[in-house]
């Protein structure tokens, strides 16, 4: 499936029935089955009752011990702090990488904004070095823009 088809299916999920959690889970499943180099796909959401804290949301992949991440900690926390997309093509070279699995080689984290406010992020791990192509980065960023509609 190409990125255009994935974006079209993402639109269908967002416009379809179900609550936010169900839609986020469906997007995780879509990305997991559609992109060979995506080995863990999930969302971290701003904790409703803790300041500057991310909580693990829907995901597909191996279970993770990182169910809460402080803003500024690791790649996910850094994306929450700066509101920038982070692409790490070799996590062994990242000083602030929080290891979820010894198999992870590269990662992308994309912030999700709603009305100018940070609400969560898409986090994807790959077992392949240099897995995040410019095309995949652009697709993930486009998905996160579309997600504003369900937050």
3-class DSSP state for residue 143? Answer: helix
Give burial (CB, 10 Å; 0-12/13-18/19+) of 146. middle
Overall size of the chain counted in residues: 151
pLDDT in the model for residue 96: 65
- 25: domain range? 3-150
* CA–CA distance, 3 with 5 (Å, rounded to integer): 5
Q: Do the beta carbons of residue 108 and residue 137 sit within 8 Å?
A: yes
pLDDT in the model for residue 95: 65
pLDDT in the model for residue 102: 73
Its pTM stands at 0.95
Q: Do the beta carbons of residue 79 and residue 110 sit within 8 Å?
A: yes
Domain count, the chain: 1
Residue-wise pLDDT for 37-52, tens only, equals 999 999 999 999 999 9
Answer whether residue 10 shows pLDDT above 80: yes
Residue-wise pLDDT for 80-132, tens only, equals 999 999 999 998 887 666 666 678 899 999 999 999 999 999 999 999 999 99
Answer whether residue 26 shows pLDDT above 90: yes
3-class DSSP state for residue 87? Answer: strand
The CATH number of whichever domain residue 78 belongs to comes to 3.30.450.40
């Amino acid at each position: 499936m190409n990125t255009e088809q994935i974006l079209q299916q993402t639109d269908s999920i967002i416009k379809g029935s179900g609550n936010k959690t169900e839609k986020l889970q469906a997007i995780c499943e879509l990305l997991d089955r559609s992109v060979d180099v995506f080995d863990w796909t999930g969302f971290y959401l701003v904790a409703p009752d803790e300041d500057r804290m991310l909580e693990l949301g829907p995901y597909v992949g191996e279970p993770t011990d990182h169910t809460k991440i402080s803003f500024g900690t690791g790649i996910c926390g850094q994306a929450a702090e700066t509101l920038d997309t982070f692409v790490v093509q070799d996590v062994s070279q990242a000083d602030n990488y929080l290891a979820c699995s010894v198999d992870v080689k590269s990662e992308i984290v994309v912030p999700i904004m709603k009305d100018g406010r940070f609400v969560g992020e898409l986090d994807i791990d790959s077992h392949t070095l240099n897995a995040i192509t410019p095309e995949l980065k652009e697709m993930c960023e486009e998905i996160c823009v579309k997600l504003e509609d369900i937050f």
